[in-house]
Structure 1
Amino acid sequence: MKFTIFSCLFIATLSILILTSCSDDAKVVDAVSNSESSAVSNASTGIFSGKSLDSSKRKSYKVSILEIRQASKYSYLKVEGEGDGLSEGNPYWIATLRGDFQVGDEYVYTGRLLKSKFQSKELGEVFDMIYLVSFIEEISGGSPIVATVEGVVSISDVVTDPMKYAGTIVRVHGQITKVNESIMDRNWIHLKDGTADDYDFVLTSKVSVPVGHSVTFEGLITTDKDFGAGYIYELIMEDAAPIQ
């Protein structure tokens, strides 16, 4: 009997302050100041933290992209449309995990926190006002945007030839779809990357990451794993950890 079990977390760093003001439905870590360096912790893959909410309860904002500025880990997008808090169509900036965005395309995003005087050292720019966004996807029905990460193996590759990867440490990258915490002293996370979404890919981790985030995990691929009490998996990633 297979169980679909998952989990949620995002941060393990020194001097963390969880901010809840000005947020629609996601918390954001601000460790030092309004800057890229303060938006990253050594156990997260981005700038967000906190408990996940059911997607049906999240506010969503439809926008089109006017301008794109890429940093190594983040995409800075000048957009127009919903969610600017001003008049309809007034352009504003959002930042999210780096992805393959296109000017002119339309997207929907959820989970954001307003930051003022936000500094991007990589771009050498200070944004007077910017929203840090936790999840964004193309309106045309495309897959959720995920970061381009070196050394990542697709879930399809692992599922197609599990014995090739069994007993080895690999990296996978995808969007977290469901989570369950603290079962058998583990957090259980379901991940999809757009390559084998009909397969229920599960990983276990000591950390927990919110649903909707795109994350890179590194862990041990195991086949025919019996955890006891009927929890049996033909394929699973164990002891996975998010990497920057």
Structure 2
Amino acid sequence: MTVKNNVVALLVMVLVFVGCKDKQGYSKVKKEVTTTISSSDSHKIVVKELIPAGTYAYLNVEENNKTYWMAVPNTKIVVGDTYYYDGGMMMKSFESKQLKRTFDEIIFAEGIRTSPTSEKVVKPKAHSHKETKQVEVAKLSKENGQLYLNQILSNTKKYANKKVEFTGVVIKVNKQIMKKNWIHIVDGSEFGGVKSLTVTTDQLAKVGDTVTVVGKLILDKDFGYGYVYDVLLENAKIKKN
């Protein structure tokens, strides 16, 4: 699966601020990931106001005669100085409990820099679920007609946009990202080095649980922000075995 690591970090950063609140609106902000990011892909800002908030900082900045708020990891920032950043994620009606303040719009960015170009930005590798600490699971015994992961991945077009039932062991759970729980499931089979199926669901399971999930198989799912999955079992229902 292709998940850009810097985008995941940005999503985690937003979740830290939000505290997993459900009623927030998101807007896409263009983000280009290249080996060298030119000024045409970056934002040039002047810091007008700085509010430190622990490990993060809120900045009121000016860009092209327009002022707006943004939040970045806290670092040495000087009011009046010029900085640059790439991409970002906009959140509307964001409430900061720490500041006891609601921002109509605020942009979350991974950081700001003093240089207009970033020479060491490298395109992240595709996420292929070859986790170094992934739990090894022996190939499960399944009932007749139940699909194995290698059968799904070797013939994705056959199952695309269809309801798929899959049984496996939960190896990873990410709660409430983009209002869904993200669960990674293995059954001991693999295809092309991919060992797990990613599932989105409103339900929860624990790492180590053996579950059967039923959902719609989606190909090339793009959530925006460069957040793309080649294969995803979406809006699944979980049955614990």
Tell me which interval the TM-score lies in, with the shorter structure as reference length.
0.3 to 0.5
User: What's the TM-score, normalizing by structure 1?
Assistant: 0.40
Higher helix residue share: 2
Structure number with larger C-alpha Rg: 2
